[in-house]
Structure 1
Amino acid sequence: MGHWLVLDLEATTEEGGWPVDEMEIIEIGASLVDATGREIDHFQRFVRPLRRPLLTTFCRELTHVTQNDIDAARPLSQVWPAFERWLEPHHPRLQGWASWGDYDRQQLHLEWQRQQLGSHLSSLAHTDLKRHFAKVRQLKRPVGLHAALALAGMSFQGQQHRALDDARNTARLLPLAFDGRTG
Structure 2
Amino acid sequence: MEIKISHYYLIVDLEATCCDSGTIPRHEMEIIEIGAVMLNRATWEIDSEFQQFIQPVRHPQLTDFCTKLTSIRQQDVEEAPKFIKAISRFKEWIYSFPNHIFCSWGNYDKKQFIQDCAFHNFPYPFSSEHINIKEEFSEYLSVSKKFGMAQALNELGIELKGIHHRGIDDARNIAAIYRQIKSKLNNG
- The TM-score with structure 1 as length reference comes to 0.90
Equivalent-residue separation in structure 1 for 2:158 and 2:44 (angstroms): 14
Unaligned runs of 5+ in 1: none
Alignment partner, residue 149 of structure 1: 153
Alignment partner, residue 18 of structure 2: 13
Equivalent-residue separation in structure 1 for 2:10 and 2:33 (angstroms): 16
Identity of aligned residues (%): 32
AA matched with 1:11: A
What is the number of residues matched between the two proteins?
179
Q: CA offsets, 1:25-67, max 9 Å, x none?
A: 1000000111254100010010000010000000000000000
AA matched with 1:25: I
Equivalent-residue separation in structure 1 for 2:8 and 2:21 (angstroms): 36
AA matched with 2:79: A
1:49 aligns with 2:56: yes
Alignment partner, residue 136 of structure 1: 140
Q: CA offsets, 1:87-144, max 9 Å, x none?
A: 22212x32x11111110000001111111212441x1411111111011111231110
Return closer, same or farther for 1:77/1:107 CA change in 2, 3 Å cut-off.
same
- Please report how far the alpha carbon of residue 178 of structure 1 lies from its aligned counterpart in structure 2 after TM superposition: 4.0
Aligned match for 1:72, one of 79, 88, 93? 79
Higher-Rg structure is 2
Equivalent-residue separation in structure 1 for 2:47 and 2:17 (angstroms): 29
Return closer, same or farther for 1:149/1:59 CA change in 2, 3 Å cut-off.
same
Aligned match for 2:104, one of 95, 99, 102? 99
Return closer, same or farther for 1:98/1:19 CA change in 2, 3 Å cut-off.
farther
